[in-house]
Amino acid sequence: MSNSNHSSRRGISRRTFATGVAAAGIIAGSAPFNIVRAQAKSLKVGVLLPRSGVQAGIGQDCHRGVEITAGVLKELGLPSLEIMNGDTETNVDVARSRAERLIADGAQLLVGAFDSGQSTAIAQVAEQRGIPYVINIAAAPPITEQGYKFVFRNFPTAPMILTDAFANQLEIFKIAGTAPKTAVFMHVNDTFGTAMQKGFTGVMSKFTMPYKVVETISYDPAARDLSVEVAKAKATGADSLIMVSRLNDAILLTRELVKQRWSPTAVLSMGPGWYEDQYLKTLGKLSDGPMSFVPWYDPNKKVSKLLEKALAKAHPGINLNTNHVYTFEALLVAADAFKRAGTADPQKLADAIRATNITDNVSTGPGIQFNAKGQNDKLKNSAIQNRGGKLVAIAPASASNAKPELPMKPYDKR
Amino acid sequence: MGLPIEIYLNVAASGLLTGLVYGLMALGLSVIFGVVRVVNFAHGEMMTVGMYVAILAFATLGIDPLVMMVPIAAVLFVFGYLLQTGLINPFINRPEHSQFMLLVAVALILVNLQLIVFGPDSQGVRTSYSFDSYAIGPLIIDASKVYAALAAVAVAAALFAFFRFTLLGKAIRACADNYHGALVVGLNVKHLYALTFGLGTACVGAAGAMLVAITDVTPTIGPAYTLLAFVIVITGGLGSMPGALLGGVLIGVTEALGGLLFTPSAKSMFAFGILVLVLLFRPQGILGRKLS
């Protein structure tokens, strides 16, 4: 005790001095690293995708978009991105915890997550932590209606998809000279499906559609068997199907249509599933005919060609699609903002994203800009049709490369 | 709602056929619990193993999943036997929660191994009859479901016959009835337990081979089948073999008709509704024995 008092009276002991020198040395020594970090050449981007679980197929497909991004960014003269992958396991709670984890591990910007429910959870985390989040694919409108300052979406909302879908359908029916008279609307009951269902009637009423929706059927996207759903739809006597689905259920539904000997004159899809490569490969000639009204890409744009080339090299035989395009564009937004901001500081990065004006892009429409809510409201959709294992664009006329085939060839005549 | 009667008949027939395959899957769970008194929390995951083996055989050798049913059952039998001998037997006299955790761990390992080996994409087989259906009057019945259901009934009948008429089957039943009595008369109980576990996993493997003809598989679908098997055996009566089949049919038909009458997205709600009713009014299950 007396020694201690004695020491304190003396002021700084030899040990304290040595500790202080060591601490100063560490701080001084690490300072150059701080400077290096502030001027980093790459941005750490946490990419959250459902790479396992029910949406695994689509999550893996989105990841192909991540894989081909680096080369294209280099060709465009944009800075490289350091990708940190996170698997949401097609689960909202896991998506939230993976987002937290990626931020804790140093992610400076988040991208993802294909699904509206998972994206909503990630948006909450990003906003709380003040980390910019660029949504690749998610259509539920509320995500960009919360007044968030760090959340940006370069993907159309459900009403935007529906509006373009009905407009494109009218164009197709006019070109084909025929149209369905009645339809059953089937949709998955997840966040995306429910958002589309809520907007469907309201948006449809703004158009003079030739068909009447006679039944609406919702179902679980994880269902193992969809025979009841198809039996119920068939019993209505409708001549066409309007779908909002995912991948696995689109395959299951097509199988049931064939087994239950029901060939609608048209399958009009307003979501993923029916144009995916796995759908085309699994069902072969039975995959021909469905039309998808989806956010797509303009094949005439320069960057589209670069992306097609990169995908063909990395994954021969796979068609470029929505998943690759919009995942790539989310990363393009990140790289572009990082270049302009010159820093990974979250606030400055978010400000740079808000000021984005990319016209040299891939998706259909004038380019990438965000409104005050963080939504790109300039995006346009296309209509595509499955033909012989390939996808052709059939509307709008300005971005099409084929005429629509309507009615669809019956399944038993293939 | 005014739907034609043939729609109800079609949907009920589809539910019945699927329910029989579900019943065979649950039969394995019921047999294991009835004899070994261990609840197999990796049951659905073991079925996905059977499904993947069937897919592999179809993709590489072109062998029909229903033909692969017997070899897959044999492979799963060996797997179950070794699992019981090497891993579960030491846990037989430990607290139940230890057994639960052990089998949950086995389930997690199986799911992750399948993810590593087969990837997360859904996979299935496309046989020559995959898209066939039979038209019987107004009924249109899925050919794959008919074959799978017939195979399920045949396997269940063989299992009933084994337990009822063979000496080995009677010895296993003796173990289930009186563990200490079986030891006293000199039965090798641990070997019989391993045989029983093997039979249970063989059942679920065969069910997997049948199911892959009806639906696709992903590694993460296993837990949903485990839960379904639990619902079926609790409804039919845990430990009762006829109860498992009856439970399967009941759940299959209820889900199908419930989905048709109300909303398809609430199909599983009806299965759980039946479960709640059974637990309330007949806790031992429809064909289960009341515990003293």
Residues A171 and A212 in one domain: yes
How far, in Å, are A103, A126, B176, B254, B292 from residue B232 at the CA level? 43, 43, 21, 12, 23
Residues A289 and A350 in one domain: no
Q: Which residue segment(s) compose the domain that A227 sits in?
A: 159-295+382-413
Q: What is the pLDDT of residue A20?
A: 52
Inform me whether the pLDDT recorded for A223 exceeds 50: yes
Q: What is the pLDDT of residue A292?
A: 96
Residues A129 and A163 in one domain: no
Q: What is the pLDDT of residue B292?
A: 53
Pairwise pLDDT comparison (B263 vs A37), residue with the higher score: B263
Supply φ then ψ for residue B76, to 5 degrees: -65, -30
Average pLDDT on B111-123 reads 87
Inform me whether the pLDDT recorded for A307 exceeds 70: yes
Expressed in percent and rounded to 5, the helix, strand and coil fractions of chain B are 75, 5, 20
Residues A237 and A211 in one domain: yes
Query: What is the number of domains present in chain A?
Result: 3
Q: Are A151 and A175 within 8 A, CB to CB?
A: no
Residues A30 and A66 in one domain: no
**Domain regions of chain B by residue span:** 5-118+129-281
Amino acid at A49: L
Residues A236 and A367 in one domain: no
- CATH no. for residue A65? 3.40.50.2300
Supply φ then ψ for residue A110, to 5 degrees: -115, 150
Which residues from B are below 8 Å from A when comparing CB atoms? 3-4, 7, 10-11, 14-15, 18, 115, 119-122, 124, 126, 130-133, 135, 140, 142, 214-216, 218-221, 224, 255-256, 259-260, 263-265, 267-268
Residues A30 and A97 in one domain: no
- Bridge pairing between strands A240-244 and A182-188: parallel
Residues A273 and A310 in one domain: no
Q: What is the pLDDT of residue A18?
A: 52
Across the interface, do B120 and A53 touch by the CB < 8 Å criterion?
yes
Tokens of B217: 């598989």
How far, in Å, are A96, A278, B38, B52, B201 from residue B108 at the CA level? 22, 27, 18, 16, 17
Q: What is the pLDDT of residue A39?
A: 47
Residues A374 and A395 in one domain: no
Question: What is the model's pTM?
Answer: 0.78
Inform me whether the pLDDT recorded for A52 exceeds 80: yes
B7 CB neighbours in chain A (<8 A) are: 231-232, 234-235
Residues A15 and A148 in one domain: no
Cα separation, A116 vs A245, in Å, equals: 13
Angle in degrees, CA A55, A160, A348, rounded to 5: 80
* Residue that is written with structure tokens 């059942």 in the block: B203
Residues A265 and A391 in one domain: yes
Which of A259, A211, A265, A230 minimizes the C-alpha distance to A409? Answer: A265
Q: What is the pLDDT of residues B133-149, one digit of tens each?
A: 998 888 889 999 999 99
Q: What is the pLDDT of residues A71-111, one digit of tens each?
A: 999 999 999 999 999 999 899 999 999 999 999 999 999 99
Residue B54: exposure state from Cβ atoms within 10 A (0-12, 13-18, ≥19): buried
Note the CATH number of domain B5-118+129-281. 1.10.3470
Q: What is the pLDDT of residues B14-71, one digit of tens each?
A: 999 999 989 989 999 999 988 888 889 999 999 999 999 999 999 999 999 999 999 9
Sign of the Cα pseudo-torsion (B51, B53, B54, B60, in order): positive
Across the interface, do A52 and B142 touch by the CB < 8 Å criterion?
no
